[in-house]
Amino acid sequence: QSVLTQPPSVSGAPGQRVTISCTGSSSNLEAGSDVHWYQQIPGRAPKLLIYSNDNRASGVPARFSGSKSVSSASLAITGLQAEDEADYYCQSYDSGLNGLVVFGGGTKLTVL
Amino acid sequence: QVQLVESGGGVVQPGRSLRLSCEASGFNFNRYAMHWVRQAPGKGLEWVAVIWYDGSNKYYGDSVKGRFTISRDNSKNTVYLQMTSLRAEDTAQYYCARVGTSGGDLDHWGQGTPVTVSS
C-alpha cells in the first residue's frame, strides 16, 4: 500500500491525451509538499519528468505537463506517442510517519 | 555530464551484510544531498535513505531503519549504503539519485545495482 495513490494503469491511442492522478493526504500533498513525476521504461532507471508540480525537467517535451491541487496532482500527456509507453511515478515529501520521501505505486501507460 | 555509477550488488545469504557504492562525476558532489531508492522485481519504487550534502543529516525508510546506514566520502565523490541483517524482502535493484534544484526531486539517477538475498 503506497502512501501516494495512483491508478494501476491507463491507456490511450496515439495522438490522444491521457492523465495520471496522484492522491495524497494531510502529511504530504495536503500539507503543501510539492509533487514530482518520473518516467520509467522497463529495464531502465527512472527519469525525472516534472518537478515542483508543474515544471518540466530539462529536455522533456512540452507534451508533458503537471498540475497540483490541495490533495492531488496530475500528470497530463498530450499527443500520445508509442515511445511514451512506460511506468509513471509521483513522488513527494512526507512529514508524518510514512518516511521522509514517498512514492506513488506507479501507473502503467499503454499506448494502444 | 552528470554520471552516477552504482556497484557492490550481488547475491547474499539472509542475515549477511553488503555495501553498495555510488560514484558520482560531472558535478560538485559536495553540494548535493544524495538518495538511495530501490525497486523489488516487478514492483514500484521505494525510498531507502538520504544523506545531506555534508553528511550532517541522514534519514531512512521504515523498512530499513536500524539495519542500513548511508554515508558519503566527499573526497571520493562517493555515497555508500551499508546493508546489514539482510532479508529476502531486501531483494531489489538499488539506485542512487541526486537531489534536484528544487530540493525535493531526484534529477539524476544511476543505472542501479542488483541485490539478491537468498540462501
What distances in angstroms separate CA B83 from CA A63, B35, B59, one per listed residue? 40, 15, 14
Q: Give chain B positions within 8 Å (CB) of A52.
A: 102, 104-105
Q: Give chain A positions within 8 Å (CB) of B108.
A: 48
The mean per-residue pLDDT over the stretch B7-36 comes to: 97
Environment class of residue A80 by beta-carbon count within 10 Å: exposed (0-12), middle (13-18) or buried (19+)? buried
Residue A98 banded pLDDT, cuts 50, 70, 90 = low
The mean per-residue pLDDT over the stretch B45-65 comes to: 95
Give B10→chain A minimum CA distance, Å: 17
Confidence at residue A100, expressed as pLDDT on a 0 to 100 scale: 87
How far apart CA B12 and CA A79 sit, in angstroms, is: 46
Residue with cell 500527456: A77
User: pLDDT tens digits for A24-63?
Assistant: 998 899 898 999 999 999 999 999 999 999 999 999 999 9
Q: Give chain B positions within 8 Å (CB) of A73.
A: none
Q: Which of B46, B104, B112 sits opposite A36 (nearest CB)?
A: B104
Nearest to B4, CA basis, from B113, B93, B115: B113
How far apart CA A29 and CA A95 sit, in angstroms, is: 10
Nearest to B68, CA basis, from B50, B80, B81: B81
Interface test with B, best of A29, A101, A102, A108 (most B CBs within 10 A): A101
Confidence at residue A95, expressed as pLDDT on a 0 to 100 scale: 84
Nearest to A67, CA basis, from A57, A59, A75: A75
Q: Do A103 and B59 touch (CB under 8 A)?
A: no
Dig out the grid coordinates for A32 from the structure: 503543501
Dig out the grid coordinates for A48 from the structure: 525525472
Residue A97 has pLDDT above 80, yes or no: no
